[in-house]
Amino acid sequence: MTRSTAFATRSTPISPPKKLFLDGEDVTGRRAFARVAAEQDGRFTDLVQEWGLYLSEWSEKNIREDWGSFAKATRWIMGRLRDYMRMENDCLYPLALRHGLIALRP
C-alpha cells in the first residue's frame, strides 16, 4: 500500500447525520442536538487522526521523493476537511441555532 492510500482506506465518509428529523420522534431542543453532535463526534475524531497521520507521513523528505502521491494525499485530506466543515455548516449549526443553543453574532 502506498503512502497516499495507507490512511485513506481506514476512514469513513463524512456525511450529514442519517436521521436529523423524523416524523413522530422528539427532535426538539438539546436532545436532538446532542444526538446529532454525538454522531458527528466520532467522525471528527477520525478526521483528527487522519490529519495527524497525514502530517507524520509527509515529511519534507517524503514530499520531495514522492510529489505525486503527496499531491494526491493532500487533495484527499483537504476533501475530508471540506466535507466535515460542510456538514457542520449545513446540519449541526442550523440545528443549534434553531433550538437556541447558539446565537448569531450581531
**66 or 16, higher pLDDT:** 66
Q: What pLDDT does 24 receive? A: 44
Q: What pLDDT does 64 receive? A: 96
Specify if 16 maps to a domain.
no
Specify if 51 maps to a domain.
yes
Specify if 34 maps to a domain.
yes
27-49: burial string, b at 16+ Cβ within 10 Å, e else? beeeebbebbbebbeebeebbee
Query: pLDDT tens across 37-83, in order?
Result: 888 888 889 999 999 999 999 999 999 999 999 999 999 999 999 99
Assign 3-class secondary structure to 33-65: HHHHHHHHHHHHHHHHHHHHHHHHHCCHHHHHH
Domain coverage including residue 49: 28-98
Number of compact structural domains in the chain:
1
Query: pLDDT tens across 17-36, in order?
Result: 544 444 444 455 677 778 87
Provide the whole-model pTM. 0.65
Residue 58 dihedral angles phi and psi, to the nearest 5° = -105, 70
Specify if 69 maps to a domain.
yes
What is the band of 94 on the pLDDT scale with cuts at 50, 70, 90?
confident
- Rounded to the nearest 10 degrees, the angle between the axes of helix 67-87 and helix 29-57 is 170
How far from 1 is each of 8, 66, 90, CA to CA, in Å? 10, 14, 35
Q: How many Å apart are CA 54 and CA 32, to the nearest integer?
A: 33
Specify if 21 maps to a domain.
no
Q: What pLDDT does 11 receive? A: 53
Specify if 7 maps to a domain.
no
